[in-house]
Structure 1
Amino acid sequence: MKLGLQMGYWGSKAPSGALELVKEAEALGYDSVWTAEAYGSDALTPLAWWGSHTSKIKLGTAIMQLSARTPTAAAMAAITLDYLSDGRFIMGVGASGPQVVEGWYGAPYPKPLARTKEYVEIVRSVLRREGPVSYDGVFYQLPYGGGEGLGKALKSTVHPLRGDLPIFLAAEGPKNVSLAAQIADGWFPFWFSPKSNDFYSLALQDGFKARGEAYDSSKFEVICPMPIVINDDIEKAADAIRPMIALYIGGMGAKAKNFHADVFVRMGYEAECARIQDLFLAGAKGEAMASIPMTMIEDVALIGPKDKIRHDLERWKETVITTVVTGGDIDSLRTLVELIL
C-alpha cells in the first residue's frame, strides 16, 4: 500500500506552507500528490508549481472536472504538464455533479457515463497521435459540424511524452466504477469502506470483463482518499471528521441526487443520511454534525491513538486499495509513514 498526499482545492485563499508540505512528502517517500477543483482554485496550476520544485513525486489531479475543459483542452494540459514534470503527471477526471456543472459551468449534465466514455476516448486519441482527431459522438463532435463549416480534423503539434499517459476516473456508483475499470488506468473512490470491498471488487471485475480481461490489481490503481486523525481522544478525533461528512452528505448535491449520500446509504445508513440532509439543508449544521454516529465515521476513516489506527488499518490492507491518500501537517505526514509505510 502506497501513500499519497491530498492537497485538495483551496478554501477562501491559497493555503500557506503547501510547497514545504509537498517537498517533505517527497522526501519521506510519498508516491504521489493530488489536487482537486470545485468552483474556486483549479487542479492544474498548483501541480505545475509544485512539480517545478520536486523531482520524483507523481503529480495527479483528483479531479479535473469534465465540464471545465473540452477533451482536447484537457489533453493539451496533460501533454504540457507531463513534459514539464518529466513524465510524472496522472490525469484524474470526473463528471462532478449537476449542481456544479449546471450552476458553475452553465452546461447540461446529461448521461455522465456515456459522456465520460466519449471524453476519455478523445483524450486517448490525442495522446496516441496516430492521426488527425475526428470524433462523431453524441456529446462531442470533432470537427464541429456547424458554425462556419470550416472545421478541420487536427493532430497535436506536440508529440506527447507518453502516449499511454495514465488516466484515472472518479466514480462512486457501481456502473461508474465498472466504467473506470473498463476504460481507465485507475479509480478514485470516495468515502470508501472496507465493508463495501466485495461490492466494489465485483464492479471492477465487471469492468475488466467488458475489456476482455480478468481483473488484475497489478495493472489497475485504486487511489483512495482516507481521512486520518491521530488523537488519544477518539471523540475529538471523530469531531474532526464530522464537518466533512455532514457537508458532503448534506450540502454537496441536491437532496434528490447526492452521489456522496448514496455511498453511505449503500453502507446501511439510509436513515442517518436522511436526517443529516434534513438538518443541514435547514441550516442546522451543528445538529447535522452531531447526528453522525461513531460507527459511520469509523467505516470511512481512521481515528484515534496510533495503536488503534495501526490495528484498524489492517482491514484496509485487505481491500482493492493500492494507495491511501490523506492530508495533514508535516508531523502527521511523518507519523503516517511510520504507520503505513
Structure 2
Amino acid sequence: MGRWGITLPLTGVPLAEHRELVRELPDLGYTDAWSAETAGTDAFTPLALAAEWAPELRLGTAIAPVYTRGPALLAMSAATIAELAPGRFVLGIGTSSPVIVEAWNSVPFAEPYAKTRDTLRFLRSALAGEKVSATYPTFTVSKFRLERAPEPPPKIMLAALRPGMLRLARREADGAITNWLAPTDVPRVRAEVGADFELVARVFVCPTEDENAARGLGRLLISSYLTVPVYKAFHDWLGREDILRPMHEAWAAGDRKAANEAIPDSVVDDLIVYGSAARCRERVAQYVESGLDTPVISLLPTGEDPGKLVRALAVNN
C-alpha cells in the first residue's frame, strides 16, 4: 500500500483534542492528513497543528476555495503551512460551491473554470517568490510579493470532477483532487489525467455493521451533495443520470424524504464504504487497485469513539 490519508479534524472532536491521535498516525500507517473547509474549521489551522504534532505526515487542503480569500491572502495562508511543513504540504484549491461562496460568504460564484485557472497561475508565481503585477481575466493583482516565500514552494492540486477541470489540472497543476466516486469510477477519471499524475480522492467511510444505519446516513449525504449542480453533472458523466433521476425530481419538488427514498441501495453501496473495519480497509484499497494514488478517508459518525475508528482503519492493522 502506498499513501493512506485521513480527513482532519474528525467530526464532533474539538481540534485541541486531536493531538495524541495525530501523533500516532504515522505509526498506524497513515501517510497523509487532509483538511476540508465547509462550515467547521478553516482549511489551514488544523494543518498548522498537525505540522507540529506529526512532522512525518504529508499535509494537504482539500480544498481551499478560490473565491473566499483574496489571491494574496490565499498565497499567505499556503506559504505559512509550507514553511511549517517544508516539502510536505500540498495546496489543494477549487471552486467550492455556490452555497458556500454566495450564500455564506456573499461572493459571486462567477466563471468557476476561469477563476480557478487564474488563481492557480497567480499562486505559481507568488509562491515562487515573484513580485506579481498582472491582470488575469477574473482579477487583477498589483505589486504583490510574499515577505518570505516558502522553500520549496508547495505543490498545487486542483479539485476536479469533469473533463475540463481534470485536463486543466493535468496541464498546469501537480495533481487532481476528486470525491464522490466509486472504485469503478476511478478509471474514467484517471483516463482524463493520464497514468503518471497524482489523483487524490476523499472516500466516505462509515465503519459500522449496521447496514440500515449506514445506508440511511449515506442517503442523507448523497441527496445533499449530488443535487448540487456540479455533482449532478459529474454523476451524469459517470453514467448515473437515469438511476438518480427520481432523486433529482423529488428534490426539485421540495420533497427531501422522497428524494432520499428514491436513491437505490446500489448507489449508496457504490459511494459509501461501510461494514467492519476490515471490510472498510479492503474497500478503500479497491480504489487504489482501480487507479487512485491517494485515498483520503472521511470518517462518518457511527456513535463510536472517532479516534478508536481511525485506529481500526489504519493500514497497518
Query: What's the TM-score once normalised by structure 2's chain length?
Result: 0.86
1:271-321 Cα offsets, whole Å, 9 max, x none, are 443332344455543443333212102222322345654664564233231
**Cα offsets for 1:128-170 (capped at 9, x unmatched):** 22x4212121112222xxxxxxxxx24322132213x111111
1:303 and 2:274 are equivalent in the alignment: yes
Verify: 1:322 aligned to 2:299, yes or no.
no
- Per the TM alignment, residue 232 of structure 1 is displaced from its structure 2 partner at its CA by 3.5
Cross-structure match for 1:196: 185
* Number of the residue aligned with 1:137: 136
What residue in structure 2 maps to residue 103 of structure 1?
103
Aligned pairs for 1:229-308 within 5 A: 229-250=206-227, 253=228, 258-280=229-251, 284-305=255-276, 308=279
**C-alpha distance in 2, partners of 1:322/1:50?**
22
Equivalent position amino acid for 1:139 in 2? T
Distance change >3 Å, CA 36–CA 230, structure 1 → 2: closer
SS at match of 2:226: helix
Residue 14 of structure 1: how far off its partner (Å): 4.5
Alpha carbons of structure 1 residues 267 and 21: separation in structure 2 relative to 1, 3 Å: same
Match of 2:303 in 1: none
Q: Structure 1 residues 233 and 104 mapped into 2: Cα distance closer, same or farther (>3 Å)?
A: closer
Correspondence for 1:7? 8
Aligned letter for 1:200?
Answer: V
Aligned-residue CA RMSD (Å)? 2.7
| C-alpha distance in structure 2 between counterparts of 1:159 and 1:308, whole Å | 44
The residue aligned with 1:173 is 162
Aligned length: 310
Deviations 1:198-250 (A, max 9, x none): 32122113xxxxxxxxx41xxx3211111223333434432332221121124
Deviation at 1:121, TM superposition (A): 0.9
Q: 181-190 or 98-107, which moves further after superposition?
A: 98-107
User: Is the contact made by 1:33 and 1:57 (CA closer than 8 Å) also made in structure 2?
Assistant: yes
Aligned residue number for residue 29 of structure 1: 29
Contact between 1:249 and 1:276, CA under 8 Å: does it hold in 2?
no
- For 1:140, the aligned partner's letter is F
What is the SS of the residue equivalent to 1:134?
A: strand
Q: What are the superposed Cα offsets for residues 167-189 of structure 1, whole Å, 9 maximum, x if unpaired? A: 11111111111111111111111
**Counterparts in 2 of 1:89 and 1:311: CA distance versus 1, 3 Å:** closer
Is residue 35–residue 43 contact of structure 2 (8 Å, CA) maintained in 1?
yes
Distance in 2, Cα, partners of 1:107 & 1:7:
26
Superposed, 1:153-232 pairs within 5 Å as 153-163=143-153, 165-205=154-194, 215-216=195-196, 220-232=197-209
2:146 maps to a residue whose letter is S
| Residues 19 and 138 (structure 1), Cα distance of their counterparts in 2 relative to 1, 3 Å cut | same
Offset of 1:330 from its aligned partner? 2.6
Verify the 8 A CA contact 1:9 1:43 in the aligned structure 2: no
Cα distance in 2 for residues equivalent to 1:122 and 1:102:
23
Q: Is the 8 A contact 2:92 2:156 kept in 1?
A: yes
User: How far 1:10 sits from its partner (Å)?
Assistant: 6.6
Distance 1:279 1:300 in 2: 20
Name the SS of the counterpart of 1:121 in structure 2.
helix
Contact 2:48 2:84 in 1 (8 A): yes
The letter of the residue matching 2:287 is W
Distance 2:135 2:275 in 1: 53
SS at match of 1:187: strand
Q: What CA distance in whole angstroms lies between the structure 2 residues aligned with 1:317 and 1:44?
A: 27
Task: Name the amino acid aligned to 1:335.
Answer: A
Partner of 2:302: none
Q: 1:58 to 1:298 in 2, by over 3 A?
A: same
Q: 2:72 touches 2:144 (CA, 8 Å); kept in 1?
A: no
For residues 99-126 of structure 1, give each alpha carbon's deviation from its aligned partner in whole angstroms, at most 9, with x where no partner exists: 3322233222232222211111111101
Residue 150 of structure 1 is matched in structure 2 by none
Quote the Cα distance in structure 1 between the aligned partners of 2:287 and 2:237: 18
User: Within 1, Cα distance between the matches of 2:67 and 2:275?
Assistant: 39
